[in-house]
């Protein structure tokens, strides 16, 4: 069994309390400008930016440091087209039958439908896979822990990194999205978690008028 090894917490920087408070406000102001966008420009985005956003996501806290995620970055127009065709097929069934009325009612304020042109327009589709278990070099399986929580946290950090880089994203979840394993050549041990569409917003991009809950609705201080 590998033994625990430690070193000092040399990356930690304590801030004066005033600076702490200012930064907390500024970060909130920064994050609240993020909007999920469904209308993308085809303007190219440097690959290094995407690479660093994924490295940022990879710093996420996760179960037993198994880092149970894999990111497939798609920019090839042919692959994007295949993803669009497969996703729209699922979405058509969702919107015209599979989804219960209650779900469709919940989505009405967002104005979504089965048409997903952004899957071809946006420069990058980042398919995020959750690794259900690992495989050792001798073929034995190793258990991963808190996979959904871990990948969810990493995805949140990826979305934050993309926003901080001045780009926009869309969390797209065609359901079911097992077609992504086949199209992107990912093994059975990986489950598609989410498709993050990334790029610049279209010049005329519009977003729905929706609001976030207040602090007293989402938090309780005891
Ligand atoms: N996956 C569908 C439906 C959809 C579901 C939820 I929950 C949303 O917040 C938005 C859309 C789609 O992408 O249109």
82-129 residue pLDDT tens: 999 999 999 999 999 899 999 999 999 999 999 999 999 999 999 999
Residue 90: inside a domain:
yes
Residue 181: inside a domain:
yes
Q: How far apart are CA 82 and CA 188, in angstroms?
A: 20
Say if CB 36 and CB 194 are below 8 A apart.
Answer: no
Q: Does 116 sit in the ligand 1 pocket, CB within 6 Å?
A: no
Count up the domains in the chain and report the number: 1
Specify the CATH number for the domain of residue 91.
3.40.109.10
Q: How far apart are CA 157 and CA 125, in angstroms?
A: 16
The model's pTM: 0.96
Q: How far apart are CA 117 and CA 103, in angstroms?
A: 22
Gyration radius of the chain over CA positions: 20
Top mutation candidate among 35, 108, 109, 112 for ligand 1, by most atoms within 8 Å of CB: 112
Residue 196: inside a domain:
yes
Domain that holds residue 138: 39-201
Q: Which residues pair with 72 in a beta bridge?
A: 127
Element (H, E) at 217: helix 215-218
pLDDT in tens, 24-76: 999 999 999 999 999 999 999 999 999 999 999 999 999 999 999 999 999 99
Q: Which residues pair with 168 in a beta bridge?
A: 199
3-state secondary structure of 57: helix
Q: 160 C-alpha vs ligand 1 centroid, how far in Å?
A: 20
Residue 2: inside a domain:
no
Helices (H), 58-99: 77-93
């Amino acid at each position: 069994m590998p033994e625990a090894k430690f070193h000092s917490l040399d990356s930690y920087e304590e801030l004066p309390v005033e600076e702490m408070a200012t930064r907390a406000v500024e970060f909130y102001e920064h994050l609240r400008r993020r909007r999920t966008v469904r209308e993308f420009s085809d303007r190219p985005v440097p690959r290094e930016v995407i690479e660093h956003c994924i490295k940022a996501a990879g710093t996420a806290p996760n179960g037993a440091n198994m880092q149970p995620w894999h990111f497939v970055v798609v920019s090839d127009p042919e692959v994007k087209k295949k993803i669009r065709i497969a996703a729209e097929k699922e979405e058509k069934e969702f919107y015209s039958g599979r989804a219960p009325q209650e779900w469709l009612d919940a989505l009405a304020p967002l104005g979504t439908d089965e048409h997903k042109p952004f899957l071809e327009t946006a420069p990058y589709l980042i398919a995020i896979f959750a690794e259900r278990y690992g495989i050792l070099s001798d073929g034995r399986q190793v258990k991963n822990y808190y996979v959904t929580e871990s990948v969810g946290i990493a995805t949140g950090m990826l979305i934050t990194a993309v926003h901080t880089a001045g780009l926009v994203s869309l969390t797209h979840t065609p359901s079911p999205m097992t077609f992504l394993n086949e199209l992107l050549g990912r093994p059975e041990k990986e489950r598609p978690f989410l498709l993050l569409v990334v790029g610049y917003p279209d010049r005329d991009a519009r977003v729905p008028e929706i609001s976030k809950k207040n602090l007293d609705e989402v938090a309780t201080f005891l």
